[in-house]
Amino acid sequence: MSNVNFQQSIDQSDRLVPVNLRQSGDPGIQLLISNRVRKSPYWHLSVEAGCWKATVYNRMYHPRAYVKPEDGGAMEEYRALVNDVTLWNVAVERPIRVKGPEAEAFCNYVCTRDVTRVPTMMGRYVVLCDEQGRVLNDPVMLRLADDEFWFTISDSDLAYWFRGVNHGMGFDVEIDEIDVCPLQIQGPKSEDLLADLVGEAVRDVPYYGLMLGRIEGVEVLISQTGFSGEKGYEVYAFNSSLHAETVWNTIREVGEKYRLMVIAPAHHRRIAAGILSYGQDLDHETNPFQCYLGHMVPKAKQADYIGKAALERTRELVNAGQPPFSHQLVGLKLGGKPIEDYAPDFWLVGADAGSEPCGWITSPWYSPELGTNIAMAYVPVASAEIGTELVAWLPDEFLDIPGQPVAATVSQMPFRESVHQSSRERAKAAGRDYAY
């Protein structure tokens, strides 16, 4: 009989479906590769580049490791990212296009931020909520024209949501997934590599800016965006199914002189940058004010949008010290031995070694720069103040003393400086607690 128990001591009464906090570990089960889950146009190229670990994201296979543990594993990939330049297969972001005479009005209705303020050939990080103010997706939105927007989505059914919304609203738009599977080029040498690939004009592209170009004759869209906290870009090849090999191989060939390495999305670096991962750090039952995204609820937007009334009410409750949720996402610095791979469970957090667990870790990793483990975690709202001392129950392999939890301190995010400030950091620097 299994002794993996559901954690009844942790208050999840504000959720309909509790987060599964059973500590079941990594059973070593092999991922089934079949034709029921989609392979992106870059999947076979990732396999050729050494992908040995994968997951499923947006119903597509998603490469999550290239360097074998005996060769340095994920931390060797991290070294390449922060020192040189890296190539990521992130086709699973599969863009959803909204196009038509009322595209701006539609996008402004489904996004919390004011889309009318976004000029053409620019992008924004956006949040989309349901009527109760819960986060359905946190994509990067790109505006290619007055009447055309792309959403590079996190792990959810955003296209279905868009079509369902429009079935009732009747905006004059077309909503489709398009064949422009993205790649990311991330790292301090990314600008020089992109200049070699598409020309010197890329050096003038601002953060969240866009440009059109060609790689070995293939039309591409370049955005200065990414999931790393480092300097970086995303490359969208038009008709990716046809041109995948040409674009991928050209990037790798030109990148050789910059020590380019193919790696997985850098969760170790994005944690340090305070970048959230949908499905891991938040989901469809999470409120923006609960998960470090309260700044994405604007104060100056006059137009109505889905969830507006609920989110403005939540802001009032939070400001009054009566948040309508039991747990708050925070940063943690953790003791213990270095965590250098993905956590198979939401590890538990408590007030002290003699207490029952009261929270859970969503994203842990080791930071070489800080010389300590760092993490995101949900803790009771009363324990969310920076400097609060807690403990974390990690697997035995990471414990200094077997059976004893490690120290955990609530800490400021981001944990280390990013090349580009996030919307949260820019708003704070301007004296605002909200983005436009």
Q: What are the binding residues for substrate?
A: 234
Q: Which residues contact 78 (CB under 8 A, 6 or more apart)?
A: 266, 268, 269, 368
- How far from chain centre, in Å, is Cα 53? 19
Pick out the residues of the known binding site. 234
Let me know: does 230 contact 81? Beta carbons within 8 Å.
yes
Let me know: does 178 contact 186? Beta carbons within 8 Å.
no
Let me know: does 335 contact 375? Beta carbons within 8 Å.
no
SS3 content of the chain, % helix, strand, coil (to 5): 25, 25, 45
Report how far residue 361's alpha carbon sits from residue 415's, in angstroms, rounded to the nearest whole number. 16
